[in-house]
Amino acid sequence: MKKLCESAGFIVFIQGIAGLLHEWTGWFRFWAVVRRLEFLGGHPVFVDIVLVVTGASVMVAADRLKE
């Protein structure tokens, strides 16, 4: 369970970073999932920041789980 939470947190964190890099530089066009979701289209930077914070929080919380 601990590895699953760490992996999910890492994927969410990377999606947020990729989305921010795409918004700022235009790179990682295929990794940025947020821009493909129509209902989140108006606030991509805010959603990417939330993804980064959520991913980091899940990874920190996974460290507190017992194996």
State the pLDDT at residue 53: 97
Write the pLDDT tens digit of every residue in 2-55: 889 999 999 999 999 988 888 888 876 676 677 677 777 678 889 889 999 999
Domain edges within the chain: 2-63
State the pLDDT at residue 44: 82
State the pLDDT at residue 67: 66
Distance CA 35, CA 5 (A): 25
Q: Within 10 A of 24 (CB to CB), how many other CB atoms are there? A: 10
- pTM (whole model) above 0.95: no
Distance CA 58, CA 67 (A): 16
Distance CA 43, CA 29 (A): 17
